[in-house]
Amino acid sequence: MSVTMPTTPSTPASGALTYEEKRHARNLGIAYIVLAGITMIFLTGHSGTATFNLDGGRSFGLPAQPLAWFVAASLSVVAGIQLWRGFGKWTNVVLAMASLLIFMSFLSWAAAGREFSFIGMLASAVTFSTPLIFGACAGIMCERSGVVNIAIEGLLLNGAFTSAFVGSIASGWPGMGPKSGFWVGVLAAMITSALFAWLLAWLAIRFKVDQVIVGFFINFFVLGLTSFLSSRVLTENPDYNDTPTLGAWKIPLLERIPVLGQILFQQTVFVYAAYVLVVVFTWFLFRTKWGLRTRAVGEHPRAADTLGVNVLRLRYRNVIMAGAIAGFGGAWWTATLGRFNENITNGRGFIALAVVIVGRWHPVGALSAALLFGLFDSVADKLSLLNTGLPSEFIKMTPYLMTIVVVAGFVGRSRGPKAAGQPYESQ
Amino acid sequence: MTAATVDGSPAAAPEEKPKLVVFFDRIDAYNNLLLPFLAIVSALIVGAFIIGLTDIDRLKEGDIGGILTTIKDAYIALPTGALGSLGGISETIVSATPLILAGLCFAVAARSGLFNIGATGQMFAGGMASVWVGFTMDGPGIVQVPLALLAGIIAGGLWGGIVGILKARTGAHEVITTIMTNYIAGLLTLWLLKTEAFQQPGKDNPVSKTVSDKGRLPELFFWSDDPSLRAHWGFLVALGGAVFMWWLFERSKVGFELRTFGSNADAARYAGMKPATLTTLAMFIAGGLAGLGGATQIIGTQGYATESFAGSIGFDAIAVALLGRNKPVGIVFAAFLFGILEAGGRKMQLETDIPLDVVLVLRALIVLFIAAPALTRLIWRLKSEGSTSVLQFRGWGA
């Protein structure tokens, strides 16, 4: 019986769509038409075959012009179906497929008649997304418990500075090599970022300072302090700013998987740690008592308090843990570059905030969003080499535009925890 | 929401008092003078510790006296560098000008209940519009300069207005959209500066064409021939912006509605005001002020646009507005203080080798002690006295 029932009781039948759902479906249909038009007008301009190099000398070619026509045609069909009757539960799958088609058509257009390291682009997308994943997980951990964290940028920056500074000093200690010194630096980064996060929680909870303002204070303060220390201490003592870079740590067997191996399993420890973090965090958030309490406190602290949850203590604990995660994420820069530069994070913490929102306050969503944002970064990076005439600024802009589209709810609204940003007073 | 946010005056000005006394009664000495003063003192004390503890060479030698001398020299160099000479005063004014306008931008939005951290992007929009007017036109200054400023206001206003419309129509939270529009504006600026229409011919780096001398804002110290005195009439424009904000919120009907909407959106709605219109309008006015700030930066200070002419001004402006308690007069004074720190910081760097970045730390600390009056009171053992909260974040909700 249950096999033949296509709709479960929880999802409304297609006739009972709310106004908002109808609007989203319509907007999506219009978006498909616009994308089909863009594909037809712009991406059919280059002729020739684009050769995409994979690992081990393998490659595949895509003819740019026929592909663009094909994509434009399929998008028109998809738009028609979307506007006519919608895709129901397949909406997101169709959207993903359509995005993939446009993306491939775009790459073929950009690399028409030339070679392009496809796998290199994907691998560097994974690399670029790593600090975003840490930053976003830190953000989610705070916001799910009802504390808005604008300070991700500052916590990451502090992590980068402290890991470079302490890591360099610690490697000079007796019995310490550069490698073990680096990990001492990472530990210090986690502790100091946790302290800054505690400051955030303390000011926001104890003194009820507005959380956005505290977040900005921490960003300003860390930026000023690290720049100050960098020019006052690090430039005069270059030894204090010199750590080893972390090489790739190839996972045996898995690294030999064709294509995927090079993208996912020939990366640094930080990349693996990011994936482990997402898995563990998701499990904790949705399968444990702590996770349930966190979500309850973020949505309705009064109710959680009534049931005996210590709201403020939980918030303190979550924010401090988030700080440690962000501090670890900040050490990624040190591991990659082997040194600290002023304002090295350069706004990545704010992108991580966008990742939190586009990922809808869910670790796995944040992982996908971070990968997507990383992909845009690496495409912008690689395209500047191909010299297509398309300014890389516009590709770099896409994640920000996308974030606006998501928060504005043009295609599905992203809603934050209800109590985020509001101080709580137990009665 | 306390009623004191409206004008901070508990007294209803009895008639028999002389005017001067009434004037002083209107100043909330505790919140508007004592707390900011203590915040600055606290910041300077913490800053002194930071300067002292990072003096590694002297610390190793145990030269405490030397450290104290450095701190003393630094804190003397700050005010003397900024105010000790006409050149210093000029530099202070140059730094303060865009901060006043961007601070007003934050304050207008804040008093309308919006968290506008998009001053950077709005400055980019305004600055780029005004530089375009500046280098394409070749008319007399009396026509061209106001036109360039107007272009800045409109472009900045539209850029801010987008955020307002998004908020009004879809509920997209302005903290997120302004962060995003800041990045978009920065990237658009970078792109524009590489296009033929904007880029200076013969240059590889992204620098715009130069605004002709006629199109620049006149010098403030016009009687002096010294070309290093960079202060310009943009300062007067900024003061005009402050007067405008005072008029808007204290004298105009629209301002009254914005203020009501800002302190209690539900009350405003029940009174028949239109939240969507007010949100858009507030963001347009705020953006216009920031755009004006970008314009003065271009046709006043620089004469051409670079990819970073907005710098960190948009963010510093948040601190300025907080310090000035979102009031026009307070913002002018706060911007001046920040200008002093900036101009004096450069002299301090020259004389004592202490990096200018310490100014960033001091600014952040001032913001902290201002934003957390309870903390400042705790440190200085003061009693609470009718403090007003600056602005309350109301969650990400729609």
Q: Higher-confidence residue: B56 or B285?
A: B285
Q: Does B115 touch chain A (CB under 8 A)?
A: yes
d(CA B114, CA B174) in angstroms, rounded, equals 7
- Structure token pair of residue A379: 């495409």
Amino acid letter for position B274: K
Give pLDDT, residue A298.
92
Closest chain A CA to residue B312: A220
pLDDT, tens digit, 9 for 90 and up, residues A242-267: 888 888 888 888 888 887 888 888 88
For tokens 């045996």, what's the residue?
A252
CB-hemisphere CA count at 13 Å for A122? Answer: 17
Give pLDDT, residue B228.
84
pLDDT, tens digit, 9 for 90 and up, residues A388-413: 778 888 888 888 898 888 888 765 56
> Do residues B231 and B94 make contact, with C-beta atoms less than 8 angstroms apart?
yes
- Structure token pair of residue B44: 């300077």
Does residue B91 carry a pLDDT above 80? yes
> Do residues A39 and A93 make contact, with C-beta atoms less than 8 angstroms apart?
no
Beginning with the edge strand found earlier in the chain, give each strand of the sheet holding A59-63 in spatial order: A59-63, A49-53, A115-117
Helix (H, G, I), strand (E, B) or coil at A34: helix
Read off the pLDDT of each residue in B305-325 and give the average, rounded to a whole number. Answer: 89
Range(s) within chain A of domains with CATH label 1.10.3470: 123-391
Give pLDDT, residue B6.
45
Q: Does A384 touch chain B (CB under 8 A)?
A: no
B359: closest CA of chain A, how far (Å) = 8
3-state percent breakdown (helix, strand, coil) of chain B, nearest 5: 70, 0, 30
Closest chain B CA to residue A225: B361
Give pLDDT, residue B283.
97
Give pLDDT, residue A410.
66
Q: What is the interface pTM, i.e. ipTM, of the complex?
A: 0.85
Q: Does B357 touch chain A (CB under 8 A)?
A: yes
d(CA B208, CA B192) in angstroms, rounded, equals 9
Question: Which candidate, A195, A423, A427, A193, places its Cα nearest to that of A315?
Answer: A423
Does residue B1 carry a pLDDT above 60? no
User: Which CATH number, 1.10.10, 2.70.98, 2.70.220, 1.10.3470, labels domain B28-380?
Assistant: 1.10.3470
> Do residues A76 and A14 make contact, with C-beta atoms less than 8 angstroms apart?
no
pLDDT, tens digit, 9 for 90 and up, residues B3-34: 444 444 454 545 566 777 776 666 677 777 88
Of the listed ranges A275-279, A313-317, A372-376, B280-284, the least confidently predicted one is A372-376
The mean pLDDT of chain B is: 88
Q: Say what percent of chain A tops pLDDT 90.
A: 44
- For residue B3, with 0-12 CB atoms within 10 Å meaning exposed, 13-18 middle and 19 or more buried, which class applies? exposed
Cβ–Cβ gap A393/B177 under 8 Å: no
Give pLDDT, residue A145.
92
* Cβ-based contacts of B172 with chain A (< 8 Å): 404, 407-409
d(CA B314, CA B310) in angstroms, rounded, equals 7
Read off the pLDDT of each residue in B359-371 and give the average, rounded to a whole number. Answer: 89
Q: Does A239 touch chain B (CB under 8 A)?
A: no
pLDDT, tens digit, 9 for 90 and up, residues B252-297: 999 999 999 988 888 999 999 999 999 999 999 999 999 999 999 9
Give pLDDT, residue B61.
84
Read off the pLDDT of each residue in B241-248 and give the average, rounded to a whole number. Answer: 97
d(CA A14, CA A88) in angstroms, rounded, equals 7
What does the domain layout of chain B look like in residue ranges? 28-380
Provide Rg for chain A, Cα atoms.
Answer: 24
Give the 3-state DSSP-derived string for A186-213, with helices as H, strands as E and coil as C: HHHHHHHHHHHHHHHHHHHHCCCCCHHH
Residue of A216, A221, A419 lying closest to B318 (CB–CB): A216
Band (pLDDT 50/70/90 cuts) for residue A427 is: low
Q: Quickly list H helices, A12-151.
A: 19-42, 64-84, 91-110, 118-144
Q: Higher-confidence residue: B58 or B274?
A: B274
pLDDT, tens digit, 9 for 90 and up, residues A66-87: 899 999 999 999 999 988 888 8
Does residue B333 carry a pLDDT above 60? yes
What kind and span of H or E run contains B372?
A: none
d(CA A325, CA A137) in angstroms, rounded, equals 8
Residue of B319, B322, B360 lying closest to A227 (CB–CB): B360
B316: closest CA of chain A, how far (Å) = 9
Question: Which candidate, B281, B259, B302, B250, places its Cα nearest to that of B123?
Answer: B302
For domain A123-391, the question of CATH label 1.20.272 is answered with no
User: How far from B33 is each of B29, B36, B37, B325, CA to CA, in Å?
Assistant: 5, 6, 6, 11
> Do residues B371 and B385 make contact, with C-beta atoms less than 8 angstroms apart?
no
Q: What is the DSSP letter of A277?
A: H
Q: Does B77 touch chain A (CB under 8 A)?
A: no
> Do residues A225 and B355 make contact, with C-beta atoms less than 8 angstroms apart?
no
Q: Label residues B120-141 b or e (16+ Cβ within 10 Å = b).
A: bbbbbbbbbbbbbbbbebeeeb
What kind and span of H or E run contains B112?
A: none
Band (pLDDT 50/70/90 cuts) for residue A210 is: confident
d(CA A205, CA A315) in angstroms, rounded, equals 9
Does residue A235 carry a pLDDT above 60? yes
User: How far from A252 is each of A122, A256, A261, A262, CA to CA, in Å?
Assistant: 20, 8, 10, 12
Q: What is the DSSP letter of A236?
A: T
pLDDT, tens digit, 9 for 90 and up, residues B116-148: 989 999 999 999 999 999 999 888 889 999 999
Band (pLDDT 50/70/90 cuts) for residue A4 is: very low
pLDDT, tens digit, 9 for 90 and up, residues A267-291: 889 999 999 999 999 999 999 999 9
- Structure token pair of residue A225: 């302090």
d(CA B35, CA B389) in angstroms, rounded, equals 13
Give pLDDT, residue A412.
57
* Cβ-based contacts of B50 with chain A (< 8 Å): 225, 228
Closest chain A CA to residue B195: A391
Angle at A412 between CA A410 and CA A413, to 5 degrees: 90
Closest chain B CA to residue A23: B170
Of the listed ranges A211-225, A375-389, B7-21, the least confidently predicted one is B7-21
Cβ–Cβ gap B397/A416 under 8 Å: yes
CB-hemisphere CA count at 13 Å for B129? Answer: 28
Give pLDDT, residue A9.
41
Cβ–Cβ gap B363/A220 under 8 Å: yes
Does residue A365 carry a pLDDT above 60? yes
The mean pLDDT of chain A is: 87
The B residues from 143 to 202 touching A (CB cutoff 8 Å) are 166, 169-173, 175-177, 179-181, 183-184, 187-188, 190-191, 194
Band (pLDDT 50/70/90 cuts) for residue B2 is: very low
The A residues from 159 to 218 touching B (CB cutoff 8 Å) are 203, 207-214, 216-217
